[in-house]
Structure 1
Amino acid sequence: MKNDVRLKVFSLEARLAKLRSKHGTLKALIARELKRPVPCSVTLQTLKRQRLRIKDEMVRCVSRLQGARSSGRLQERSV
């Protein structure tokens, strides 16, 4: 049972790391677009929506991670 919980925690941590990376990439793309002389509002809107979806997914992932840790009574690592 504990191995299942550990596997789930590991999987969620990996997913969270990937989401954080994508969020950072989108943040950089938004900053780059804003530096253009005439930023494209459609591009900005699209990038910001993608970033918001990623952020929402990160929140869900953190919540599931906390639930998995508490149900398995595993020690919490820094997230």
Structure 2
Amino acid sequence: MTHTTEWKTRIYLFEEEHTTKARVELDTGTTRLTGHGTARCNPTDVDVPEIGDELAAARAMEDLGAQLKRLAYGDMEDAGTRP
């Protein structure tokens, strides 16, 4: 059985006063999930915005991944199988 689908993802990054926040939105066509992540620059470190972007985005994607796994496990249980 062949199955092809497209999921849309957007990542938004916001930086203010040495703190970067990321929001990643996933739209599967039937489900929408949002992950959040934050990165803070240590006041003694050099401020490199790209690092904050990368860390905040990675943390937001980890959050989204955890939500997606919980959703899949719930669907598995509903289908009568175990995760």
For the criterion TM > 0.5, the same-fold answer is no
- More strand, by proportion: 2
The structure showing larger relative contact order (alpha-carbon pairs under 8 Å, at least 6 residues apart) is 1
Coarse TM-score class (shorter-chain normalised): 0.3 to 0.5
TM-score for both structures, normalised by structure 1: 0.44
TM-score for both structures, normalised by structure 2: 0.43
- More helix, by proportion: 1
